[in-house]
Amino acid sequence: MALLIGCGESSSAASHILLLRYLNRALDSIKHDITQIFANIFCSTIKSDSNVRTCGDEDLPPPPSFEHLMATMDERYQLRARHWYSKQKGYDDKRDPYAVFNVLDTMLRDSLERLKTMRQSLSLPDLGFQECTLEVNYAKHVHVIRDLCLVGKVGAALWLRRKMIHKCVVPDVFTHNYLVNGLCKTSDLERADWLIREMVEMGPSPNRATYNTFIKGYCLSDNVDKALYIFSVMANSDIRPNRVTFNILIHALCKKGLLEEAWKLLGEILEEEKDKESPDLITSTILMDAHFKNGEMVQALSLWDEMVRKSIQIDVVAYNVLIHGFCLSRQMKLAYRYFCEMLKRGLLPDVFTYNTLINGLCKDGKFEEASYIHGVMARLGVTPDPISYKIIIQGLCIYGNVGRAHNFLVCMLENSIVPEPHTWNVIIDCYGRLGDLGNAFSIRDQMLAFGVLPNVFTFNALVHAQVKGGNIANAYSLKKKMFLCGLYPDVVTYNMLIGAACNLGHMRLALQLHDEMLRWGCEPDMITYSELIRGHCLKGNVEVAEELFAKIQKTGLPIDHVPFQLLIKKYCKIGEFDMAYDLYQKWITRDQ
């Protein structure tokens, strides 16, 4: 069976051949058994007909007559006596031993005829039914494997593949590509590598789509070096890469900022395809997007002009890249111009087009226009997605227009779109910065009501609101609630609490918080030490502040201007101008 599968035979044909071989062997065995039985009967008959008698034979019963032997057989095997009698002399009765051969021959021919009929009846309808059943089971298992891969249950799909192989049925390469794609989507590249190696050894052989999927998996995991290695393995396996292979690698190189290497790879494509004079639409779009992100407007527009000059059919994705490039460079008029050109060409903008325009307008502070675009997209049949709301809510909160941002949140919830925690946190933080603690906690409660669990950033926004309001006790209680929710304060949480304690002159509490963050494995940063230095300077503990400053220098943390300014200001207040000047000289020397 394994040999047949390896040669490309289907599993149903293999089972058909095996069954025929089994029937032939069974017939041979039956034929041999019948011959042996009749041979034994013949030998006993010959012995009974012998005239030679040994001592003691007088007491034995007379041998059975030939008529008695034939009477024990079925009537359909009996022949007329005139066909049995031999003219041989020396026999004083009507028995003829050669007649037994006639009987045996007749019985054997009849048995073989019946077995032949049985074999023909099995080989036609029964084997056809079995072949149909095997084909149906194979198709069913293959479809199940593909469906499991599509829903992300690759482990169950691999188990079913292993069961099929144990039954000597190997799925085709198309099904194996589903498995490789499922493993790459879950970043299980080691098992994908194992599966491809097994395909090379046992079959079916990997094809171009298999290697393209594997290369894309490594590119998505940001392992371009491994992707290039698989590309070389693909070429060494006599599988020629296509445009899809090159576009995957070019996109990965552009994401890493390796534009020069991407252009070299493009040169290899054009060299292999001598009939091509320029990159195709997908390659040009990838390179154009990379140039826009690098701020290389001239190179990006040259690619666009080349596509227009070559009369390449430009799609919505290419226009989205062009509009996004103009929004990055704050050239909104050009973005609007090509947006209108899309409509004139009959290309309908999608949600990415509108989100790009809304983001560009929000960065320029043009919220009226952004709100108008947000309303237009819904009327034109393009439903705003969570990103559409997130962009405009975040932009409004950055400029302090939290009331309008809250209205967009309400609209979002009315459309059955529950935002992610980041959107809630932005509004909570904006209310907190404006000192509106009531609305800040109201948004937090609404967040919980919709089943969205708060994270560390949510608590930090509330802690910041309490600290800004001077409620150090309430801020400290929020830190305790974080532990009850299974969250741990980060360095931002401790910095806000330490800063609030230092402002109020509670240096003992500030040092306790510093020791606590060390116990929890939270490393202090430059802001932590700056707050402690400022607190000691306010309390007049200049020597302790100097010790902290020396400690910062030993830790190797990047020191900004804040600790220098705090100590220089304190030296000036206490009249230590020489020390202030020396510290100022160190500051200038460090900057140089």
Dump the DSSP string for 428-482: HHHHHHTT-HHHHHHHHHHHHHTTPPP-HHHHHHHHHHHHHTT-HHHHHHHHHHH
Identity (one letter) of the amino acid at 370?
A
Q: Is 506 a member of any domain?
A: no
Q: Is 239 a member of any domain?
A: no
Q: Is 129 a member of any domain?
A: yes
Q: Is 71 a member of any domain?
A: yes
Identity (one letter) of the amino acid at 591?
D
Angle CA 129–132–133, to nearest 5:
85
Spatial separation of the C-alpha atoms in residues 575 and 567, rounded to whole Å: 12
Angle CA 331–337–338, to nearest 5:
100
Orientation angle between helical segments 243-255 and 281-293, nearest 10 degrees: 0
Q: Is 367 a member of any domain?
A: yes
Burial of 317 (0-12, 13-18, 19+ CB in 10 A): middle
Q: What is the pLDDT of residue 217?
A: 92
Orientation angle between helical segments 456-468 and 437-449, nearest 10 degrees: 160
The domain boundary, picked from 147, 174, 203, lies at 147
Spatial separation of the C-alpha atoms in residues 262 and 291, rounded to whole Å: 11
Contact 471, 501 (CB under 8 A): no
Contact 279, 270 (CB under 8 A): yes
**Domain ranges, residue 14:** 2-50+60-147
DSSP single-letter state for residue 124: I
The domain boundary, picked from 127, 147, 167, lies at 147
Residues with Cβ within 8 Å of 378's Cβ and at least 6 positions away in sequence, in order, are 384
The domain boundary, picked from 324, 353, 384, lies at 384
Angle CA 222–225–226, to nearest 5:
85
Contact 421, 389 (CB under 8 A): no
Three-state secondary structure readout of 41-70: HHHHHHHHHCCCCCCCHHHCCCCCCHHHHH
Q: Is 351 a member of any domain?
A: yes
Placement of tokens 């948004």 in the chain: 443
Spatial separation of the C-alpha atoms in residues 311 and 579, rounded to whole Å: 73
pLDDT, one tens digit for every residue, the chain (592 residues):
343 333 334 444 444 444 455 555 655 666 565 555 555 554 554 444 444 343 344 444 454 444 444 444 444 444 443 444 444 444 444 445 555 556 666 777 777 776 666 555 544 444 444 455 556 678 888 899 999 999 989 999 999 999 988 888 889 999 999 999 999 998 899 999 999 999 988 889 999 999 999 999 999 888 888 988 888 888 788 888 888 888 888 888 888 888 888 888 777 766 666 545 567 888 889 999 999 988 889 999 999 998 988 888 899 999 999 999 999 999 999 999 999 999 999 999 999 999 999 999 998 889 899 999 998 898 888 999 999 999 999 999 988 899 999 999 999 999 899 999 999 999 999 999 888 999 999 999 999 999 999 999 999 999 999 998 888 889 989 988 998 888 999 999 999 999 999 988 889 999 999 999 999 888 889 999 999 999 999 888 888 998 888 888 887 788 888 889 999 998 898 888 888 898 888 888 876 5
Dump the DSSP string for 208-219: HHHHHHHHHHHH
Smallest Cα–Cα separation from 424: which of 438, 436, 412? 412
Neighbours of 393 (CB within 10 A): 27
Q: What's the length of the chain?
A: 592
Smallest Cα–Cα separation from 559: which of 519, 513, 591? 591
Identity (one letter) of the amino acid at 384?
P
Residue 311 dihedral angles phi and psi, to the nearest 5°: 60, 40
Contact 173, 207 (CB under 8 A): yes
Q: Is 235 a member of any domain?
A: no
Spatial separation of the C-alpha atoms in residues 510 and 531, rounded to whole Å: 9
Identity (one letter) of the amino acid at 347?
L
Spatial separation of the C-alpha atoms in residues 383 and 370, rounded to whole Å: 15
Q: Is 429 a member of any domain?
A: no
Report the number of distinct structural domains present in the chain: 2
- Strand, coil or helix: 337: helix
Task: Report CA 165 to chain centroid distance, whole Å.
Answer: 24
Q: What is the pLDDT of residue 339?
A: 93
Residues with Cβ within 8 Å of 76's Cβ and at least 6 positions away in sequence, in order, are 110
Contact 196, 234 (CB under 8 A): no
